[in-house]
Amino acid sequence: MSNEESLIDDELKIKIPTRAKIITVIWLLICIISFFFWLNFFYDNRVNSVSLGDIGAFLSGVFSVLAFYGFIEAYLIQSQELRLQRFELKESIKAQKGSEQALKEQSKALNAQLEITAKQFDIYLKDIELKRPIFSIYEGSDYSDSSNNLSMIIMNLGGECILTNVSEKKVTGIRLSIDTKVHIIRRVSLNNMMNNKSSPEYPDLSKFDISFFYHEEDSNPNIEIDNLYKNLELIFHYSYSGTSGKSLYKLTKKDNYIDGKAELELEFISHIV
Protein backbone atom coordinates (compact mmCIF):
# COMPACT_ATOMS: atom_id res chain seq x y z
CA MET A 1 0.00 0.00 0.00
CA SER A 2 1.36 3.38 -0.96
CA ASN A 3 1.80 6.32 1.40
CA GLU A 4 -1.05 8.19 -0.29
CA GLU A 5 -3.49 5.29 0.29
CA SER A 6 -2.34 5.04 3.92
CA LEU A 7 -3.06 8.74 4.45
CA ILE A 8 -6.53 8.34 2.93
CA ASP A 9 -7.29 5.36 5.21
CA ASP A 10 -6.15 7.33 8.25
CA GLU A 11 -8.43 10.21 7.30
CA LEU A 12 -11.41 7.85 6.88
CA LYS A 13 -10.99 6.23 10.29
CA ILE A 14 -13.35 7.36 13.04
CA LYS A 15 -11.30 9.29 15.57
CA ILE A 16 -12.65 9.81 19.09
CA PRO A 17 -11.15 12.84 20.79
CA THR A 18 -8.95 12.13 23.81
CA ARG A 19 -11.04 14.55 25.87
CA ALA A 20 -14.16 12.50 25.20
CA LYS A 21 -12.40 9.28 26.22
CA ILE A 22 -11.19 10.75 29.50
CA ILE A 23 -14.58 12.24 30.39
CA THR A 24 -16.33 8.94 29.53
CA VAL A 25 -13.97 6.93 31.75
CA ILE A 26 -14.32 9.39 34.63
CA TRP A 27 -18.11 9.34 34.35
CA LEU A 28 -18.22 5.55 34.31
CA LEU A 29 -15.95 5.42 37.37
CA ILE A 30 -18.19 7.92 39.18
CA CYS A 31 -21.25 5.83 38.34
CA ILE A 32 -19.62 2.58 39.50
CA ILE A 33 -18.37 4.13 42.72
CA SER A 34 -21.81 5.64 43.35
CA PHE A 35 -23.46 2.26 42.79
CA PHE A 36 -21.20 0.48 45.24
CA PHE A 37 -21.55 3.33 47.71
CA TRP A 38 -25.31 3.01 47.45
CA LEU A 39 -25.13 -0.73 48.12
CA ASN A 40 -22.74 -0.52 51.05
CA PHE A 41 -24.00 2.46 53.00
CA PHE A 42 -27.74 1.88 52.88
CA TYR A 43 -28.66 -1.09 55.09
CA ASP A 44 -31.84 -1.97 53.30
CA ASN A 45 -30.05 -2.25 49.92
CA ARG A 46 -28.67 -5.64 48.96
CA VAL A 47 -27.63 -7.15 45.70
CA ASN A 48 -30.44 -9.61 45.91
CA SER A 49 -32.95 -6.84 46.39
CA VAL A 50 -31.93 -5.09 43.16
CA SER A 51 -34.26 -5.94 40.31
CA LEU A 52 -33.60 -5.90 36.63
CA GLY A 53 -35.72 -2.80 36.34
CA ASP A 54 -33.49 -1.01 38.81
CA ILE A 55 -30.40 -2.03 36.85
CA GLY A 56 -31.98 -0.91 33.60
CA ALA A 57 -32.98 2.42 35.10
CA PHE A 58 -29.44 2.86 36.45
CA LEU A 59 -27.80 2.02 33.14
CA SER A 60 -30.20 4.21 31.21
CA GLY A 61 -29.36 7.12 33.48
CA VAL A 62 -25.66 6.46 33.05
CA PHE A 63 -25.71 6.19 29.28
CA SER A 64 -28.25 8.97 28.74
CA VAL A 65 -25.70 11.33 30.25
CA LEU A 66 -23.04 9.87 27.96
CA ALA A 67 -25.39 10.22 24.98
CA PHE A 68 -26.08 13.85 25.84
CA TYR A 69 -22.34 14.48 26.22
CA GLY A 70 -21.70 12.69 22.90
CA PHE A 71 -24.22 14.99 21.23
CA ILE A 72 -22.43 18.05 22.65
CA GLU A 73 -19.03 16.66 21.65
CA ALA A 74 -20.22 15.93 18.09
CA TYR A 75 -21.63 19.44 17.87
CA LEU A 76 -18.30 20.93 18.98
CA ILE A 77 -16.32 18.75 16.56
CA GLN A 78 -18.62 19.59 13.65
CA SER A 79 -18.46 23.30 14.49
CA GLN A 80 -14.67 23.14 14.53
CA GLU A 81 -14.61 21.31 11.17
CA LEU A 82 -16.97 23.89 9.68
CA ARG A 83 -14.72 26.69 10.90
CA LEU A 84 -11.73 24.93 9.32
CA GLN A 85 -13.66 24.48 6.07
CA ARG A 86 -14.59 28.16 6.00
CA PHE A 87 -10.97 29.09 6.66
CA GLU A 88 -9.74 26.76 3.91
CA LEU A 89 -12.40 28.13 1.55
CA LYS A 90 -11.25 31.71 2.21
CA GLU A 91 -7.62 30.70 1.66
CA SER A 92 -8.61 28.89 -1.54
CA ILE A 93 -10.43 32.00 -2.79
CA LYS A 94 -7.36 34.13 -2.01
CA ALA A 95 -5.10 31.66 -3.82
CA GLN A 96 -7.52 31.58 -6.76
CA LYS A 97 -7.54 35.38 -6.97
CA GLY A 98 -3.74 35.40 -6.88
CA SER A 99 -3.63 32.73 -9.59
CA GLU A 100 -6.13 34.71 -11.68
CA GLN A 101 -4.01 37.84 -11.35
CA ALA A 102 -0.90 35.88 -12.28
CA LEU A 103 -2.69 34.48 -15.34
CA LYS A 104 -3.74 37.99 -16.38
CA GLU A 105 -0.18 39.24 -16.07
CA GLN A 106 1.09 36.20 -17.97
CA SER A 107 -1.51 36.82 -20.69
CA LYS A 108 -0.42 40.46 -20.98
CA ALA A 109 3.22 39.37 -21.23
CA LEU A 110 2.35 36.81 -23.92
CA ASN A 111 0.34 39.38 -25.89
CA ALA A 112 3.26 41.81 -25.69
CA GLN A 113 5.63 39.07 -26.83
CA LEU A 114 3.30 38.17 -29.71
CA GLU A 115 3.14 41.82 -30.79
CA ILE A 116 6.94 42.03 -30.73
CA THR A 117 7.20 38.77 -32.70
CA ALA A 118 4.62 40.00 -35.24
CA LYS A 119 6.52 43.27 -35.69
CA GLN A 120 9.79 41.39 -36.10
CA PHE A 121 8.17 39.09 -38.66
CA ASP A 122 6.78 42.09 -40.57
CA ILE A 123 10.24 43.66 -40.56
CA TYR A 124 11.68 40.35 -41.78
CA LEU A 125 9.11 40.14 -44.60
CA LYS A 126 9.78 43.73 -45.63
CA ASP A 127 13.53 43.08 -45.54
CA ILE A 128 13.09 39.94 -47.65
CA GLU A 129 10.86 41.86 -50.04
CA LEU A 130 13.49 44.58 -50.42
CA LYS A 131 16.12 41.94 -51.17
CA ARG A 132 14.09 40.44 -54.03
CA PRO A 133 15.70 40.79 -57.45
CA ILE A 134 14.26 43.12 -60.06
CA PHE A 135 14.86 42.01 -63.64
CA SER A 136 15.09 44.31 -66.63
CA ILE A 137 16.42 44.03 -70.17
CA TYR A 138 19.99 45.33 -70.12
CA GLU A 139 20.63 45.10 -73.85
CA GLY A 140 17.97 45.01 -76.54
CA SER A 141 16.90 41.83 -78.22
CA ASP A 142 19.23 40.49 -80.87
CA TYR A 143 17.25 38.74 -83.56
CA SER A 144 16.49 38.81 -87.24
CA ASP A 145 13.16 38.58 -89.01
CA SER A 146 14.16 35.32 -90.66
CA SER A 147 15.11 33.58 -87.42
CA ASN A 148 13.15 32.12 -84.56
CA ASN A 149 15.96 32.85 -82.13
CA LEU A 150 15.81 35.66 -79.60
CA SER A 151 18.62 36.47 -77.17
CA MET A 152 18.97 39.23 -74.63
CA ILE A 153 20.88 40.19 -71.53
CA ILE A 154 18.75 40.46 -68.40
CA MET A 155 20.09 42.71 -65.63
CA ASN A 156 19.19 42.39 -61.95
CA LEU A 157 18.48 45.84 -60.46
CA GLY A 158 17.42 44.54 -57.03
CA GLY A 159 19.00 42.34 -54.38
CA GLU A 160 21.61 39.73 -55.16
CA CYS A 161 20.26 36.44 -56.44
CA ILE A 162 21.14 33.32 -58.34
CA LEU A 163 18.88 32.81 -61.35
CA THR A 164 18.16 29.09 -61.53
CA ASN A 165 15.64 28.89 -64.35
CA VAL A 166 13.28 30.79 -66.64
CA SER A 167 10.13 29.06 -67.81
CA GLU A 168 7.06 29.91 -69.84
CA LYS A 169 3.90 30.40 -67.79
CA LYS A 170 1.40 29.14 -70.34
CA VAL A 171 2.77 26.24 -72.34
CA THR A 172 1.25 26.31 -75.82
CA GLY A 173 1.43 23.85 -78.67
CA ILE A 174 4.43 25.71 -80.03
CA ARG A 175 7.66 24.31 -78.69
CA LEU A 176 9.70 27.05 -76.98
CA SER A 177 13.20 26.40 -75.65
CA ILE A 178 14.72 28.79 -73.10
CA ASP A 179 18.40 28.73 -72.24
CA THR A 180 19.71 30.65 -69.22
CA LYS A 181 23.30 31.24 -68.14
CA VAL A 182 25.34 33.74 -66.18
CA HIS A 183 26.72 36.58 -68.25
CA ILE A 184 30.50 36.27 -68.76
CA ILE A 185 32.70 39.34 -69.08
CA ARG A 186 36.36 39.79 -69.86
CA ARG A 187 38.51 42.07 -67.79
CA VAL A 188 41.19 43.43 -70.08
CA SER A 189 44.52 44.21 -68.41
CA LEU A 190 47.45 46.14 -69.94
CA ASN A 191 49.92 43.32 -69.26
CA ASN A 192 47.80 40.81 -71.12
CA MET A 193 47.46 43.16 -74.07
CA MET A 194 51.23 43.74 -74.23
CA ASN A 195 51.96 40.03 -73.94
CA ASN A 196 49.24 39.07 -76.40
CA LYS A 197 47.53 36.99 -73.76
CA SER A 198 43.82 36.40 -73.66
CA SER A 199 41.98 38.23 -70.92
CA PRO A 200 40.48 36.08 -68.15
CA GLU A 201 36.73 35.60 -67.97
CA TYR A 202 34.67 36.49 -64.91
CA PRO A 203 31.01 35.78 -64.18
CA ASP A 204 28.83 38.84 -63.72
CA LEU A 205 26.15 37.72 -61.26
CA SER A 206 24.10 40.83 -61.90
CA LYS A 207 23.52 39.94 -65.58
CA PHE A 208 22.15 36.82 -67.24
CA ASP A 209 22.16 35.73 -70.87
CA ILE A 210 18.79 34.33 -71.93
CA SER A 211 18.09 32.79 -75.32
CA PHE A 212 14.68 31.89 -76.71
CA PHE A 213 14.17 29.50 -79.58
CA TYR A 214 10.96 28.54 -81.34
CA HIS A 215 11.20 25.40 -83.42
CA GLU A 216 10.79 26.34 -87.06
CA GLU A 217 8.32 23.58 -87.85
CA ASP A 218 5.98 24.85 -85.09
CA SER A 219 6.19 28.58 -85.81
CA ASN A 220 4.24 30.67 -88.28
CA PRO A 221 6.60 32.21 -90.87
CA ASN A 222 4.14 35.06 -91.50
CA ILE A 223 4.51 36.37 -87.92
CA GLU A 224 7.37 38.79 -87.31
CA ILE A 225 9.82 37.84 -84.62
CA ASP A 226 8.97 40.75 -82.30
CA ASN A 227 5.27 39.84 -82.46
CA LEU A 228 6.17 36.20 -81.91
CA TYR A 229 7.66 36.97 -78.50
CA LYS A 230 5.34 39.81 -77.58
CA ASN A 231 3.18 39.23 -74.46
CA LEU A 232 5.18 36.13 -73.60
CA GLU A 233 4.74 35.51 -69.86
CA LEU A 234 7.89 34.27 -68.16
CA ILE A 235 8.46 32.87 -64.67
CA PHE A 236 11.87 33.69 -63.21
CA HIS A 237 13.05 31.12 -60.66
CA TYR A 238 15.80 32.31 -58.33
CA SER A 239 17.32 31.96 -54.89
CA TYR A 240 18.13 34.92 -52.65
CA SER A 241 18.84 35.66 -48.98
CA GLY A 242 18.77 31.99 -48.02
CA THR A 243 15.37 31.34 -49.61
CA SER A 244 13.86 30.80 -53.03
CA GLY A 245 11.35 32.83 -55.00
CA LYS A 246 9.47 33.13 -58.26
CA SER A 247 8.38 36.24 -60.12
CA LEU A 248 6.15 36.64 -63.15
CA TYR A 249 7.23 38.98 -65.96
CA LYS A 250 5.89 39.67 -69.42
CA LEU A 251 7.69 40.61 -72.61
CA THR A 252 5.93 43.61 -74.14
CA LYS A 253 6.51 45.50 -77.32
CA LYS A 254 7.64 49.11 -77.01
CA ASP A 255 7.88 51.53 -79.90
CA ASN A 256 11.10 53.49 -80.08
CA TYR A 257 10.20 56.87 -81.54
CA ILE A 258 13.85 57.85 -82.08
CA ASP A 259 14.73 55.33 -84.74
CA GLY A 260 11.21 54.07 -85.43
CA LYS A 261 12.02 50.48 -84.41
CA ALA A 262 10.03 48.31 -82.03
CA GLU A 263 11.78 47.00 -78.95
CA LEU A 264 10.89 44.42 -76.35
CA GLU A 265 10.86 45.30 -72.67
CA LEU A 266 10.35 43.23 -69.53
CA GLU A 267 7.28 44.18 -67.48
CA PHE A 268 6.88 42.97 -63.90
CA ILE A 269 3.52 41.34 -63.15
CA SER A 270 3.68 39.82 -59.64
CA HIS A 271 5.57 37.60 -57.26
CA ILE A 272 4.43 33.99 -57.10
CA VAL A 273 4.03 32.43 -53.69
pLDDT, tens only, 12-67: 566 777 777 888 888 888 888 877 776 666 555 555 566 667 677 777 777 888 88
Mean pLDDT value across residues 151-167: 89
Going by C-alpha positions, the residue among 73, 66, 77 that lies closest to residue 28 is: 66
Please give the pLDDT value at position 145: 47
Please state, for a pLDDT cut of 90, what percent of the chain lies above it: 14
pLDDT average, residue stretch 114-135: 90
pLDDT tens digit sequence for 260-271? 455 778 899 999
pLDDT in the model for residue 113: 93
Res. 236: pLDDT tops 80: yes
Nearest to 152 by CA among 264, 268, 249: 264
Cβ atoms of 136 and 248 within 8 Å: the answer is no
Cα four-point dihedral sign 78, 83, 86, 88: negative
pTM of the model: 0.53
Residue range 240-258: average pLDDT? Answer: 81
How many angstroms separate the CA atoms of 154 and 206, rounded?
Answer: 8
